[in-house]
Chains A and B, each alone.
Chain A
Amino acid sequence: MNTNPDETKLALWLDDELTGEELATFEASFGNQPEHLAAREEVRRWRKMMREAMPASEEPPHAEFFSARIARSIREEVQAVESEPAAAQKKRLSWQGWWMPLAACAGMAFAFFAGQRVQPGPPEIDVAGAPKAIPVEPIVYTPDGDVAAEWFASSEASATVIVLSGVDAIPDAMDFSETAAVPTEREIDSTAGNEPEGIDPAGL
């Protein structure tokens, strides 16, 4: 009597995968052997422990978002496929658009180069006889209507003089320093003020 079952059949039987006629045939021959029964109980105990500790199904975190994200990705893919002919046409156009400026530049460079070779060169122009630039009279504005202003320019002296008529005489006592922005000594001498007050820099 054969007491060694086929290993494949034995493994299937141990894991409760044999059914119907195969199960009946196997158990008729080997199903009463204590070592096989013990081995099957061992496998069942193992599977029970694993399945109790490790759930076969776990909802992914944020399950609704999980599904919604898949649906969105699929919709985007479907739309991309549907618009593929238009995209291909657009791609061709964009390719043309990329080459078009280059072709235009090359054409212009060629035309310029050819023109340089073919034309005899530009005609000579007598710059000495060219019309002079017309000097523009400056506009002098005085806010007071009783005051008239004249201006004189001297290119030799590199100076422009403005004469105001009708302005009251300026008193001699007027201190211009109060009205003019005269730089102070501190502003002129960049080293001024570095020494503490009350100390003579010369050590005197």
Chain B
Amino acid sequence: MNKSSEDPSNIAQGPVGPVGADTSLEDPNDDFRLVARAQQGDLGAYDLLVTRHRGRIFAMIRNMIHQEADAWDLSQEVFIKAWNALPRFEAKARFSTWLYRIAHNVVYDWTRKRKLDSVGELNDEIFERERIDSSSFTTPSGGDSPDHTMAQGELRVKIEIALGKLSPEHREAVILKDVQGLSYKDIADVMECSIGTVMSRLYYARQKLQTLLKDEYESR
């Protein structure tokens, strides 16, 4: 089992998202301590890690595939795979970034399998679907007024529809950068590509989204 020996303060820090529910990014040292215990077989420590990160992983996957039930199952798979791979985690990146990378692989494996399963069924809408899961969350957290909450919920649905029109790579770049708040370097690690590629994908993805959401974007 590995123990974290690298100074966590040297690890690149990405911008932190505005949602305060997740505290894992506020003190990555806690993650490293819990990871070290989990690597020794402490299931209780790993349970704490799951609790800290499940919200972000679930949100990322759900935004990628737009299906809540499948997102739930895939999030489970991410944490089980992470446990099995924990002995190989070397603390070169933050634990959350490492989890995003596993989530990235799980989602793409799932997508490939779905495409293989749907060969001949004229079902090419795994990522390109415009319909939104009827159980989608349309209510952002926070103590906003009902009107504001409803407006945000409507905007979210429009953004999700627009995201559904992007390629998987462009969609993931936007979700990781503009929703999850990862740095370019972390996104490159997660998507296993260069920073330049991330910048290119993000540029074109934002351009297309801003075109699709022209009315909403310009009214703000």
By a beta-carbon cutoff of 8 Å, the part of chain A in contact with chain B is: 7-8, 11-12, 15-17, 45-47, 49-61, 63, 66-67, 69-71, 73-75, 77-78
Q: Which chain B residues border A71 with CB–CB below 8 Å?
A: 43, 46-47, 50
Q: Which chain A residues border B196 with CB–CB below 8 Å?
A: 8
The 9 listed contacts between A and B (C-beta, < 8 Å) are: A17-B15, A47-B178, A50-B178, A52-B152, A55-B141, A58-B58, A74-B43, A74-B83, A77-B83
Q: Which chain A residues border B210 with CB–CB below 8 Å?
A: 46
State whether B21 touches A57 (Cβ < 8 A): yes
State whether B18 touches A56 (Cβ < 8 A): yes
Q: Which chain B residues border A61 with CB–CB below 8 Å?
A: 68, 72
By a beta-carbon cutoff of 8 Å, the part of chain B in contact with chain A is: 14-15, 17-19, 21-22, 41, 43, 46-47, 50-51, 54-56, 58-59, 62-63, 68, 71-72, 75-76, 79-80, 83-84, 137, 140-141, 152, 155-156, 159, 174-175, 177-181, 183-184, 195-196, 199, 203, 206, 210, 216-217, 220
Contact (A63, B156) CB under 8 Å given A55-B19, A73-B80: no
How many cross-chain pairs have Cβ atoms below 8 Å apart between A and B?
Answer: 123
What is the distance, in angstroms, from B165's C-beta to the closest C-beta of chain A? 16
State whether B72 touches A70 (Cβ < 8 A): no
State whether A53 touches B195 (Cβ < 8 A): no
C-alpha spacing A55/B199, complex, angstroms: 22
State whether A49 touches B54 (Cβ < 8 A): no
Q: Considering only CB atoms, which chain A residue lies closest to B180 in the complex?
A: A56
Q: Considering only CB atoms, which chain B residue lies closest to A10 in the complex?
A: B199
C-alpha spacing A58/B62, complex, angstroms: 9
C-alpha spacing A83/B40, complex, angstroms: 19
State whether B220 touches A58 (Cβ < 8 A): no
- Other than the given A50-B178, A51-B181, A78-B41, 10 more pairs (CB < 8 A) read A51-B178, A52-B18, A54-B179, A56-B19, A57-B22, A66-B54, A67-B47, A70-B83, A71-B46, A71-B50
State whether A60 touches B54 (Cβ < 8 A): yes
State whether A59 touches B179 (Cβ < 8 A): no
Contact (A46, B72) CB under 8 Å given A12-B184, A67-B51: no
Q: Considering only CB atoms, which chain A residue lies closest to B44 in the complex?
A: A71
State whether B140 touches A52 (Cβ < 8 A): yes
Q: Considering only CB atoms, which chain A residue lies closest to B160 in the complex?
A: A54
C-alpha spacing A77/B41, complex, angstroms: 12
State whether B46 touches A45 (Cβ < 8 A): no
Q: Which chain B residues border A45 with CB–CB below 8 Å?
A: 220
C-alpha spacing A67/B75, complex, angstroms: 10
State whether B152 touches A53 (Cβ < 8 A): yes
